[in-house]
């Protein structure tokens, strides 16, 4: 039996073309917002002298974490500065923070919605599976088509790749609030919003923060891929080193990513613990 090939690829391309012609202004708007956020952040981070910035991050690390984290931040960031990747690392930080911010902005409400409605959860879950397992490179092409080259498609790709844990763990965290507590909140006459803000979100907070932490880590893992479509930053240094087979440079730039990852990871993790001890 000769079944003709199902033209999924063609459909996707015609959808892409349709969107490009019909939703152009929307994409321009998105591009403007994201682009100016990333650039604004990057400019702000690079506005301060690197040593002052290092001191600032060290203080934040000490305040949120412990002495060890502060010490690591100081040494790690100084190393990055010393190797000459400071400016690019700050650009990467801006990209990662923007992508994470967007993920939180959309992921947390979507996760809340999933937790309140089984149908929504059943629809969203396979979409999230799809987003996380589809090779990330595939997102680059439509992202470029809609937003052209640069940092914006990089952010979009990072969001698509990084948002699922925030949605999943927000949903999970709220669903795991013990049923008798929810019942008590209902029995005293809470509105759904009061229940959410006074009970569910505070109790789910550690789980939601774990999701946000994962999202930040995944966004960071996208920086090299994003650099393939023109996103600047330390990811681009890695990418260039790889294409030019410069092991030493690649390792140095990679080290900058690692330092950034560890600092972001520990800070977000400790944020939860600090709140718990509160």
Binding positions for another protein, rule: CB under 8 A: 178, 180-181, 183-191, 194, 198-199, 202-203
Shortest Å distance, C-beta 137 to another protein: 43
Shortest Å distance, C-beta 211 to another protein: 19
Cα–Cα–Cα angle for 105, 100, 240, rounded to 5 degrees: 150
Q: Which residues of 193-211 are buried (b: 16+ CB within 10 A; e: fewer)?
A: eebbeebbbebbbbbbbbb
Shortest Å distance, C-beta 247 to another protein: 51
Paired tokens of 84: 């000459």
CA distance linking residue 172 with residue 211, whole number of Å: 10
Q: Smaller CB distance to another protein: residue 39 or 190?
A: 190
Burial class (CB in 10 A: 0-12, 13-18, 19+), 251: exposed
Shortest Å distance, C-beta 178 to another protein: 8
Paired tokens of 259: 């330092």
Q: Smaller CB distance to another protein: residue 1 or 179?
A: 179
Q: Smaller CB distance to another protein: residue 43 or 186?
A: 186
Which residues are CB-neighbours of 269 under 8 A, at least 6 positions away?
Answer: 209, 213
Q: Half-sphere exposure of 31 toward its Cβ, with a 13 Å CA cutoff?
A: 16
Paired tokens of 203: 């109790």
Q: Smaller CB distance to another protein: residue 31 or 195?
A: 195
Q: Smaller CB distance to another protein: residue 35 or 206?
A: 206
Shortest Å distance, C-beta 116 to another protein: 15
């Amino acid at each position: 039996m000769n079944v003709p090939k199902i033209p999924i690829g063609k459909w996707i391309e015609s959808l892409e073309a349709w969107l490009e012609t019909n939703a152009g202004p929307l994409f321009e708007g998105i591009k403007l917002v994201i682009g100016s956020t990333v650039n604004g952040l990057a400019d702000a981070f690079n506005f301060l002298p690197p040593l002052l910035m290092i001191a600032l991050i060290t203080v934040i690390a000490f305040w949120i974490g412990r002495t060890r984290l502060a010490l690591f931040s100081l040494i790690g960031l100084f190393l990055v500065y010393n190797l000459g990747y400071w400016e690019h690392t700050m650009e990467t930080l801006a990209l990662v923070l923007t992508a994470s911010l967007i993920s939180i902005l959309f992921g947390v409400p979507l996760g809340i919605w999933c937790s309140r409605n089984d149908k929504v959860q059943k629809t969203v879950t396979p979409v999230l599976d799809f987003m996380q397992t589809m090779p990330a490179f595939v997102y680059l092409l439509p992202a470029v088509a809609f937003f052209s080259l640069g940092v914006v498609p990089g952010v979009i790709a990072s969001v698509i790749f990084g948002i699922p844990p925030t949605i999943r763990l927000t949903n999970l965290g709220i669903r795991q609030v013990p049923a008798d507590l929810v019942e008590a909140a209902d029995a005293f006459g809470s509105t759904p919003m009061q229940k959410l803000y006074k009970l569910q979100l505070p109790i789910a907070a550690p789980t939601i923060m774990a999701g946000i932490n994962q999202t930040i880590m995944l966004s960071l893992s996208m920086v090299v891929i994003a650099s393939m479509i023109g996103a600047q930053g330390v990811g681009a240094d890695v990418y260039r080193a790889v294409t030019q087979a410069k092991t030493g440079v690649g390792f140095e730039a990679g080290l900058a990513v690692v330092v950034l990852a560890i600092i972001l990871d520990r800070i977000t993790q400790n944020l939860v613990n600090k709140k718990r001890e509160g």
